[in-house]
Structure 1
Amino acid sequence: MEFDEVVRRRRMVRGYDPDRPVPPELVDKIVRHGLRAPSAGFSQGWSFLVLTGQADRDRFWAATAEAEGPAEGWLARMRTAPLIIVALSNKSAYLERYAQPDKGWTDRDESRWPAPFWDIDTGFAALLMHLTAVNEDLGSCFIGLPAGRVDAFKEAFGVPPEFRPIGALTIGYRGGDKRSPSLRRGHRPVDSVVHHGRWTSAGEV
């Protein structure tokens, strides 16, 4: 598939065919493409938890389920995904990398960072996985973990304390998916989000 077509077809898919697992070679390809993402100082402060077995996927949904929430609808459809990849970032890998001689921030001061690049870079990697899934005619959706369930998730899967989940990709062959009501909002006009030379407000000349 041409790259332009991948970008055009990209959207968040929330319904999957539960009877069609993602072939192991595609799982491997998706993950390996994610590892081609850029990272500050080539720190690569990320890890990815790949869940393909039914027991592991059930454990994920049980650990991340909130006490109150929709039992049906989009979440029920999401649970049919045969593949879940949880993206985790490691801030300490970046602080240590930039304390090395070629960087020189020996104080490991987090305030030197204008933005959390450990999360941004992990998000880049997740996006490459998402686009790879689209290229392979798979559906995919990136979701956040409920803030109050992060500790339960980490305990359920033995995630080391230095890693923090920034989200998870559900992946599979498309099933009974429905278009999200959010799409009715449409894309924001280019002129309202792209500014050339200096920031301009709508209607400003």
Structure 2
Amino acid sequence: MEFQDVVRRRRMIRTYDVDRPVPPEIVDRMVDNAVRAPSAGFSQGWGFLVLDTPADIDWFREACRPADGSADYLAVTVQAPLLIVVHSNKDVYLDRYAQPDKGFTDRSETRWPAPYWDIDAGMAALLILQTATDAGLGACFFGLPRERIPNYRAAFGVPDEFHPIGAISAGYSTEPVHDLRAKRKRPDEVIHRGRW
């Protein structure tokens, strides 16, 4: 598929053929492409947890279920043959920028105009979404309930320094194709040239 086709076709898909697994070579390509994302100072402070068995995906849903049992989160209701949880590691960035070639001697967060550890993990997530589209899959990025992150960490042994920025469900779409052009903002509503 041509790159412009990938960009045009990529959209958030929420329903999949759960009985049709994603081939391992496609899963590998998705995460292999993710690690090619740009990162500040080539820090590469990301981590990916691949869940591709029904038992692991059930465990993920339960780990994310709020204590009151509500199912108002996609993390609790997701039905997909594949989940990839994307994590960022702020410490890797703070350590990297305290090295001599970066000109700083401390690990202060105050000089960061934005949390590049999360931004870079988001770029990696976009590469996963684009790779899924290129492979003929549907995919969706979604968040985890904030209060359940400690439970998720414990359930899957995620170290404290890795923060889940979100998860990507993927699989063969069972959704009808919709034309979303009418819902997208026009370029002139969001693109400014020369001045805002």
Q: The TM-score by the shorter chain falls in which range?
A: over 0.9
Give a deviation string over 1:124-165, Cα, whole Å, max 9, x none: 001001100000000100000011111110111111111100
Give a deviation string over 1:43-95, Cα, whole Å, max 9, x none: 00000000011111111011112332349x9964x32x111000000000000
Task: Map residues 79-94 of structure 1 onto 2, 5 A cutoff.
Answer: 79=79, 81-94=80-93
Cα distance in 2, alignment partners of residues 130 and 107 from structure 1: 35
Task: Map residues 118-137 of structure 1 onto 2, 5 A cutoff.
Answer: 118-137=117-136
Cα distance in 2, alignment partners of residues 32 and 122 from structure 1: 14
Report if the CA contact (8 A) 1:50-1:84 is conserved.
Answer: yes
Task: Map residues 98-177 of structure 1 onto 2, 5 A cutoff.
Answer: 98-175=97-174, 177=175
Q: Which amino acid aligns with 2:158?
A: V
Task: Map residues 12-27 of structure 1 onto 2, 5 A cutoff.
Answer: 12-27=12-27
Question: Identical aligned pairs, as a percentage?
Answer: 57
Report if the CA contact (8 A) 1:50-1:83 is conserved.
Answer: yes
Report if the CA contact (8 A) 2:49-2:86 is conserved.
Answer: yes
Cα distance in 1, alignment partners of residues 100 and 13 from structure 2: 45
Indicate how the Cα distance of structure 1 residues 70 and 97 shifts in structure 2: closer, same or farther if over 3 A, else same: closer
Q: Which amino acid aligns with 1:69?
A: A
1:105 Cα deviation from its structure 2 partner: 1.8
For this pair of structures, how many residues does the alignment match? 193
Cα distance in 2, alignment partners of residues 126 and 134 from structure 1: 13
Query: Once structures 1 and 2 are overlaid, which stretch shifts more, 32-41 or 184-193?
Result: 184-193
Cα distance in 2, alignment partners of residues 65 and 74 from structure 1: 8
- Gaps spanning 5+ residues in structure 1: where? 200-205
Cα distance in 2, alignment partners of residues 149 and 74 from structure 1: 10
Indicate how the Cα distance of structure 1 residues 102 and 142 shifts in structure 2: closer, same or farther if over 3 A, else same: same
Give a deviation string over 1:8-28, Cα, whole Å, max 9, x none: 111000000011100111110
TM-score, normalisation: structure 1: 0.88
Report if the CA contact (8 A) 2:61-2:75 is conserved.
Answer: no
Cα distance in 2, alignment partners of residues 75 and 61 from structure 1: 4
Question: Residue 38 of structure 2: SS of its match in structure 1?
Answer: coil
Report if the CA contact (8 A) 1:142-1:169 is conserved.
Answer: yes
Cα distance in 2, alignment partners of residues 165 and 74 from structure 1: 12
Indicate how the Cα distance of structure 1 residues 39 and 70 shifts in structure 2: closer, same or farther if over 3 A, else same: closer
Q: Which amino acid aligns with 2:190?
A: V
